[in-house]
């Protein structure tokens, strides 16, 4: 046991009781340090391992062509090179120091940390194989999940064991010249993904990303549906899983050498990041992200009052039908999900609009937006996770939950015929000004995806 658990015992009890009452905010107790610093990533004996122990996907392609084809171009395959991440990580290194940068790397490029290269090695000197990010030889060289001081996973709480024995579902794999197998049942569980998909502030304990916690409280967890059941399945299968709350089984061969068909798990790992084509060069991953976003939500409109010269009042309701966690999830202070509403008269003239972008492409603060505002120690909004100490506004749509909002406006006296009400649920990975501030000349205008829409005619009483 290499974490300073004793010093932590008291803190854990408080943290757990807080967890039950307030999922999102949590924890003023600072997390412990692992043998590799602020990240909890480690090795079986807590000592650095040779970086050569991490193969890249090309080394697996000879026998696992399918998995490599699916994985290359995923965000896992560029979790170190992703230009949005690089810009944020270099800013963290500059403003918060090498130690915090190593904390980021514990999840984004774990091999660079457990090989002892980060902190302390310049980007240009780092070998390519450790910059391959969350590669095959991270997930499949995890020896075990480390006990977590929070009683749940986070901050890369796993131990790596590089070598010829891979973490597999079955110990008895078909003999082959590539490697042996070691049974690692955790691979099939959400707790494994949660090691990285729960981000806890390394010094103040704020839970910044809590996808796992959202899932854990959901009907999906209740029915035993894991992250893998949606993210290691096709979009069509994931939609089926969300609808029926039953896993879908897919059969195939696990390698080109395999004699027998088994249950397989497509390795696309796609979420909502539609910029994948730009970030990793993969169009298929970007197209899949768009399809995932479109499968996640439903939007409805209900008119409550419509009087010429009086009030138009209508409810916008957004339901999370397809995501096994909140909408949006994880980087909720950065991601933008909002409703664009328009009311038109019979001649097509715009009478009312909410959620439109201004000339700079920015969204007004008052818009109906789902997401959060991260606050720094002075209570000012920040998009720098390392400065976050609490959340201000936070509005997320729980799994299978619905968020409603009534919008109101005053209608003109003279109105001919029906009105048209239009609403669109939109998503983009970040506001343009943030990308501009962090990425400088490399910044791009983030693509907007329509996740759902509704349109309705309204008869006005006179």
Antiparallel, parallel or unpaired: β 42-43 and 158-160: parallel
Cβ atoms of 128 and 56 closer than 8 Å: yes
* Residue 340 near ligand HEC by CB under 6 A: no
* Residue 71 near ligand HEC by CB under 6 A: yes
* Three-class secondary structure of residue 406 per DSSP: strand
Per-residue binder mask for ligand HEC (CB under 6 A), 399-428, x = binder: ------------------------------
Of 131, 182, 207, 265, the residue at the interface with ligand HEC (CB under 6 A) is 265
Per-residue binder mask for ligand HEC (CB under 6 A), 350-369, x = binder: --------------------
Cβ atoms of 286 and 390 closer than 8 Å: no
Per the listing, tokens 């990533």 go with 41
* Residue 79 near ligand HEC by CB under 6 A: yes
Minimum distance from CB of 358 to ligand HEC (Å)? 23
Which tokens in the block code for residue 68?
Answer: 């490599």
* Residue 54 near ligand HEC by CB under 6 A: no
What does each C-alpha distance from 206 to 74, 146, 376, 389 come to in angstroms? 28, 20, 11, 6
Which residues within the stretch 425-454 sit at the binding site for ligand HEC (CB under 6 A)? 429
* Residue 138 near ligand HEC by CB under 6 A: yes
Q: From CA 182, how far away is CA 330, in angstroms rounded?
A: 31
Total residues interacting with ligand HEC, rule: CB under 6 A: 103
Which tokens in the block code for residue 362?
Answer: 């920015």
Which range binds ligand HEC by CB under 6 A, 25-33, 42-50, 81-89, 305-313?
A: 81-89
Nearest to 232 by CA among 202, 208, 257, 252: 252
Which residues within the stretch 219-238 sit at the binding site for ligand HEC (CB under 6 A)? 220, 225, 227-232, 238
Which range binds ligand HEC by CB under 6 A, 185-193, 306-314, 350-358, 373-381?
A: 185-193
Of 334 and 407, the one with the shorter C-beta distance to ligand HEC is 334
Of 115, 129, 282, 329, the residue at the interface with ligand HEC (CB under 6 A) is 329
Minimum distance from CB of 202 to ligand HEC (Å)? 7
The H or E element spanning position 145 is strand 142-145
* Three-class secondary structure of residue 340 per DSSP: strand
Question: What does the DSSP assignment read for 268-292?
Answer: ----S-TTHHHHHS-HHHHHHHHHH
Of 23, 51, 59, 277, the residue at the interface with ligand HEC (CB under 6 A) is 59
Q: From CA 217, how far away is CA 207, in angstroms rounded?
A: 16
Length of the chain: 462
Of 11 and 388, the one with the shorter C-beta distance to ligand HEC is 388
């Amino acid at each position: 046991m290499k974490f300073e658990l004793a010093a932590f015992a008291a803190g854990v009890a408080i943290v757990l009781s807080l967890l039950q009452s307030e999922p999102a905010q949590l924890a003023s107790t600072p997390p412990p340090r692992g043998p590799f610093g602020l990240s909890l990533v480690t090795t079986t004996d807590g000592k650095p391992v040779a970086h050569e122990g991490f193969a890249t996907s090309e080394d697996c392609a000879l026998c696992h062509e399918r998995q490599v084809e699916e994985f290359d171009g995923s965000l896992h395959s560029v979790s170190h090179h992703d230009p949005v991440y690089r810009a944020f990580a270099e800013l963290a290194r500059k403003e918060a120091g090498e130690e915090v940068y190593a904390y980021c790397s514990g999840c984004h490029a774990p091999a660079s940390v457990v090989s002892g290269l980060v902190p302390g090695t310049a980007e240009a000197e780092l070998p390519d194989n450790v910059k391959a990010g969350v590669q095959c030889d991270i997930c499949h060289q995890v020896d075990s999940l480390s006990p977590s001081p929070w009683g749940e996973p986070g901050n890369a709480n796993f131990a790596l064991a590089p070598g010829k024995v891979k973490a597999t579902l079955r110990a008895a794999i078909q003999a082959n010249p590539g490697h042996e197998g070691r049974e690692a049942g955790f691979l099939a569980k959400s707790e494994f993904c949660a090691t990285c998909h729960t981000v806890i502030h390394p010094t103040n304990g704020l839970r910044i990303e809590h996808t796992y916690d959202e899932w854990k409280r959901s009907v999906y967890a209740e029915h035993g549906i894991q992250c893998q059941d949606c993210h290691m399945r096709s979009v069509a299968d994931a939609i089926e899983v969300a609808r029926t709350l039953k896993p879908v089984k897919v059969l195939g061969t696990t390698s080109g050498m395999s004699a027998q068909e088994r249950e397989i798990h497509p390795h696309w790992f796609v979420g909502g990041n539609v910029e994948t084509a730009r970030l990793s060069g993969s169009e298929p991953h970007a197209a899949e992200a768009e399809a995932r976003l479109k499968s996640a939500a439903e939007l409805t409109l209900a008119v409550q009052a419509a009087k010429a010269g009086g009030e138009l009042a209508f409810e916008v309701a957004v339901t999370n039908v397809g995501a096994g966690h909140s909408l949006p999830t994880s980087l909720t202070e950065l991601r933008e999900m909002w409703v664009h509403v328009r009311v038109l008269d019979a001649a097509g003239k715009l009478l009312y609009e909410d959620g439109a972008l201004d000339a700079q492409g920015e969204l007004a603060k008052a818009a109906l937006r789902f997401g959060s505002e991260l606050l720094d120690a002075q209570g000012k909004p920040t998009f720098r996770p390392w400065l976050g100490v609490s959340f201000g506004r936070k509005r997320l749509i729980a799994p299978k939950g619905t968020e409603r909002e009534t919008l109101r406006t005053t209608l003109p006296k003279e109105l001919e015929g029906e009105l048209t009400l239009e609403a669109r649920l939109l998503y983009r990975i970040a506001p343009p000004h943030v990308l501009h501030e962090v990425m400088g000349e490399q910044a791009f205008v983030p693509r907007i995806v329509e996740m759902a829409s509704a349109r309705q005619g309204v008869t006005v009483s006179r």
